[in-house]
A and B are shown apart, each in its own frame.
Chain A
Amino acid sequence: MDFASFGFIFRFLPIFMFLYFVVPEKMKNLVLFLGSLVFYAWGDRRILGILLMSIVFDYVLGLCMGISRNIWQKRVFLAGGVILNLLIIVSSHQSTWVIPAGSLIYGLQAISYLAEVYRGGVKPQKNILRLGVYVAMFPQMNMGPVVRYRDIEAQLAKRSVDAVRIKDGVIRFIVGLAKKVLLANNICVFWNTVVAANPEDLSTLTAWVGFASFAFKILFDFSGYADMAIGLGQIMGFSFKENFNYPFIATSVKDFWNRWQISLSVWFKDYVYIPLGGGRHGIIRKWLNMLFTWLLIGIWYGVAYHYLLWGLWFFFWMILESSFLGKLLDKLPGMLTRIYTWVIIIISLTFFAADSVPQAWEYIQVLFGVRGVGLVDSMALFSLKSQIILIIIAIFSSMPWAHIIAGRLRSSESGMGMALLRVLEKLLPALLLIVTLAYMAKGY
């Protein structure tokens, strides 16, 4: 079930929230778990069996690791859990019925739990319901954030909610929904035209504008779902960490990955890169560890050669930046470094968007004018003009200007700023919601 659907907003969510808030504290986890199962089953009931089976399996493995005193035994248990959850992740790429896209998140969270128990950072969860809530709760199952077990362990047992948190959560959900429906769905219209065409029929400008549209689309898709997840979590008393921090203002590839799907890069750093040794065993080993990590990140996005190349692409630039390029970038003006980062990101998207490696290469050739119908064509000019307002809104929304303006209003001495901010905080979410519902109805 999609968050940005009438079925979720007008049927599932009100009934779920009603039940969640009226039941006693000790039953909230049960309601959340059962609600999550209903959420998944709404799409395909067949997944419930696998989901429940894997929760039981992870629960038993966690307990076994807690009881065992033998390090090798613990490693076997951990390996078994990791393999099972990796199988779930990989099979979800091949067949959406096994578990929907949420299994990509589910698998990582399950591995996070097992890894934390193995390391001794947390005690095995003896309450299977709490474990089930952690790995399967629906808010972040669409597109994250990936929540580490240790960040949420205490909240599984006890969490508090008040009117302010609920209000903030509702606003956050509305903002995320608006990002998805108003921005992502509209800005990708031009990208859809580009991707439907043969690369050789595109001009260079069309390709750049098209891939920029694609970049904004996936930003607002992912960050929109993350906002909705964080908002829903807030309403229920959970505090999820931020998953995006204005990645398009990044001044280097490394900075970009500190801002883009933060929870994902932290997960891979904590559970892949560092256990492999990180940078503690010399430069060659560090590079190998980075290579393996980036290839895994590529595979997580998709099991295909062009995703592997996508991971390799970032590995290459991370290596360069960690050697000499980073120091050079520090000396350059921010605008130049942002352009550099944007070019790297756009090229990476050719691997991401293409169906194959040869097609990705064709896109790259078009981007640099080696192939295609020339530098500029009417398609690019028309699309730029007809989408210029949307592009401006997209750029504004991808920058922290709204926060900066809100901060200035909040700190204004006259009090008018604060009054205006209070009005906007009430008015804007309501207007956003109405407009968003209108666009959802249009495509309903």
Chain B
Amino acid sequence: MIFDKKKNAAVTIFFLAGILVVFAVFDFVKQDIGQDRLEQLTTHMDYFLNVKVVNGVYLAEEDYYIEQHLPQSYPESLHEEKLLMISKLVEDYPQTKVVLIPTADNILTDYLPWQAPYLQERNLLTAVEDAIGEDHVIDVFPAFVEHVQEGVYFKTDSRITSVGAYYIYRQWADRCASFPFWYQLEKLRTVKKDFAGDMVAAVGVKSRVVDEITVFPHVLTKKATINYDNQKWANSYVSEGKLSSEEPYAYFLDGDHGLTMIDTGYKNGKALFILKDSNANVVIPLMAPHYEKIYAVDLRYFTYDLKEFMKDCDIYNQFDVLVMYGCDGFLEQFEY
């Protein structure tokens, strides 16, 4: 022993007390308040170290958390593969239209850290136009650039806001619809004020700002008959319960489902088949007035054979076909 026998009891008590302190510190660290304090410390350290990217997220200007898309993560071979697929789809269904939504790093370039690399999605769009023809492509890039200050992107989430959805809808409606539905941006209603998006979870530290989730009143009031994956039924385009869940963005169309079938209640005999990712969940409700039926497929969770399914539904004869993805989602998820 390091002390003589007379101090054995003192040493034992000292170490026991030390263990209690250590265990108490550990428990403190594990609790939320402890985690918050430690996260604040690491945030300060990251700012001191001039860290600009954390877990694939740029810590950009104006408190934007912008998802990083490195060019080397999307090689040329992947581009070519997707171009072949989209060409095949257009060949089978000439009515197909394609909307590729730019990711925030392509539009908010001024906010990115100096020399931050990002995938040049404009080139992808040009390649798609060359592959299938400009008539089949609805370019939303200029609208996003023009209206970026209006908040087309969340600060803490990788997906688009209702404002972004509105401008996508307008571009689409100008090309494809007989009339644009009269949505008014100034009438947007806030349904959640403290939205911390998926980028916050990726970074692991709370942002200094939070976002708001907004929705057009028409989307709230208009009832529809919606079936999710042949299992769940709903009569609204929004799921109120999801606002307090871990994934509040699932408020729109109940989040990610492989197959969403919507009976809009509008009787015009028209139908839409849309291949999509999560971004389209905000846009689809805006398109509802133009269709009697909408079939929305998210290939990540779709368990049927797509081509067979499209044949069975007689998509060729009955439906408009739309491909709506974020540019990253198109390269990562689109399959035909």
Chain B 19-46 interface 0/1 with A at a Cβ cutoff of 8 Å (1 = within): 1001101100100001100110110010
**Judging by beta carbons under 8 Å apart, are B73 and A196 in contact?**
yes
Q: Are B49 and A390 in contact (CB under 8 A)?
A: yes
* Complex interface: chain A residues within 8 A of B39 (CB): 438, 441-442
Of A22, A163, A201, A442, most buried by chain B (CB within 10 Å of CB) is A442
Across the interface, which residues of A come within 8 angstroms of B19, CB to CB? 14-15, 18
Kindly report which residue of chain B lies nearest to residue A390, judged by CB atoms: B49
Docked-complex contact A442 and B42, CB < 8 angstroms: yes
List of B residues within 8 angstroms of A162 by Cβ: 2
Say if the beta carbon of B85 comes within 8 Å of chain A: no
* Contacting residues, chain A, for B89 (C-beta < 8 A): none
Contact, CB under 8 Å: B18 / A441: no
**A22→B38 contact, CB < 8 A:** no
B1 A24 Cβ-Cβ under 8 A:
yes
- Inside 8 A of B49's CB, which chain A residues have their CB? 186, 387, 389-390, 393
User: Which residues on A sit within 8 Å (CB–CB) of B2?
Assistant: 21, 161-163, 166
| Distance between Cα atoms of A379 and B49 in the complex (Å) | 18
- Whether A442 contacts B205 in the complex (CB less than 8 A), given A197-B73, A201-B75, comes out as yes
Contacts of A201 in B (CB 8 A): 71-72, 75
Instruction: Kindly state the separation between the CA atoms of A438 and B8 in the bound complex, as whole angstroms.
Output: 35
Chain A, 242-285, contact with B by CB distance < 8 Å: what is the 0/1 string?
00000000000000000000000000000000000000000000
Q: What is the predominant secondary structure among interface residues of chain A facing chain B?
A: helix
User: Which of B26, B52, B75, B204 lies in contact with A6, CB distance below 8 A?
Assistant: B26
The reply to whether A382 and B35 form a contact with Cβ atoms under 8 Å apart is no
Cβ-closest 4 pairs across A and B: A197-B72, A10-B26, A201-B72, A386-B52
In contact, A442 and B50 (Cβ under 8 angstroms): no
- Report how many residues on chain B are interfacial, defined by Cβ distance under 8 Å: 39
Given A21-B1, A163-B2, A189-B53, do A389 and B45 touch, yes or no (CB 8 Å)? no
Among B114-122, B215-223, B250-258, B301-309, which stretch is in contact with chain A?
A: B114-122
A-B contact pairs, 24 of them (CB 8 A): A10-B23, A10-B25, A14-B19, A18-B16, A161-B2, A166-B2, A197-B73, A198-B75, A201-B75, A379-B117, A382-B113, A382-B116, A382-B117, A386-B50, A386-B52, A386-B53, A387-B51, A389-B50, A393-B49, A434-B41, A435-B41, A435-B42, A437-B29, A442-B205
Which residues of the partner chain B approach A377 to less than 8 Å between Cβ atoms?
117
Contact indicator B73/A382 (Cβ below 8 Å) = no
- Residues of B contacting A17 with CB < 8 Å? 15
| A interface size (C-beta, 8 A) | 43
Q: Is A193 an interface residue (CB 8 A)?
A: yes
Closest to B18 in A: A14
Q: Point out the residue from A6, A18, A161, A385 that lies within 8 Å of B15, measured CB to CB.
A: A18
> CB-CB contacts of A139-165 with B at 8 A, as 1s and 0s?
000000000000000000000011100
Least CB distance from B110 to A in Å reads 15
- Say yes or no: A441-B115 contact (C-beta < 8 A), given A14-B19, A24-B1: no
Q: Is A25 an interface residue when CB atoms closer than 8 A count as contact?
A: yes
Which of A6, A18, A198, A390 contacts B72 (CB under 8 A)?
A198
| Cβ–Cβ < 8 Å partners of A390 in chain B | 49, 51
Closest to A381 in B: B115
Provided the pairs A202-B72, A441-B29 are in contact, do residues A382 and B52 lie with their beta carbons within 8 angstroms? yes
List residues of chain A with CB within 8 A of the CB of B8: 22
Residues in B with CB closer than 8 Å to A196 are: 72-73
Q: Nearest Cβ in chain A — how far from B204, in angstroms?
A: 6
Residues of B within 8 Å of A361, CB to CB, are none
Task: From known contacts A15-B19, A386-B52, infer whether A378 and B115 are also in contact, taking CB-CB under 8 Å.
Answer: yes
User: Does A388 have its Cβ within 8 Å of any Cβ on chain B?
Assistant: yes
CB of B48 within 8 A of chain A? yes
Other than the given A22-B15, A387-B49, 11 more pairs (CB < 8 A) read A21-B15, A22-B8, A162-B2, A189-B53, A196-B73, A379-B72, A382-B115, A382-B116, A386-B50, A386-B51, A439-B45
- Residues from chain A with a CB closer than 8 A to the CB of B245 are none
- Measured between beta carbons, the chain A residues less than 8 angstroms from B71 are 201
Task: State the Cβ distance, A239 to closest chain B Cβ, in Å.
Answer: 16
CB distance from A118 to the nearest CB of B (A): 37
- Distance between B263 CB and nearest chain A CB, rounded to angstroms: 45
A441, B35: Cβ atoms closer than 8 Å: yes
Residues of B within 8 A of A386 (CB): 50-53, 113
Question: How many Å lie between the Cα of A17 and that of B2 in the bound state?
Answer: 13
Chain B residue at minimal CB-CB distance from A18: B15
Given contacts A201-B75, A389-B49, A390-B49, contact A442 B204 (CB under 8 A): yes
Tell me, in angstroms, the Cα distance from A275 to B56 when the chains sit together: 51
Q: Of residues 181 to 217 in A, which have CB atoms within 8 Å of B's CB atoms?
A: 186, 189, 193, 196-198, 201-202
Within 8 A of B (CB), among A1-22: 6, 10-11, 14-15, 17-18, 21-22
Of B25, B26, B72, most A-chain CB atoms within 10 Å: B72
Q: Known contacts A22-B12, A385-B113, A437-B38: does B29 contact A6 (CB below 8 Å)?
A: yes
Q: Give the CA-CA distance A390 to B45 in the complex, in Å.
A: 11
Q: Could you tell me the distance in whole angstroms from the C-beta of A388 to the nearest C-beta in chain B?
A: 7
Chain B residues with CB below 8 A from A379, complex form: 70, 72, 117
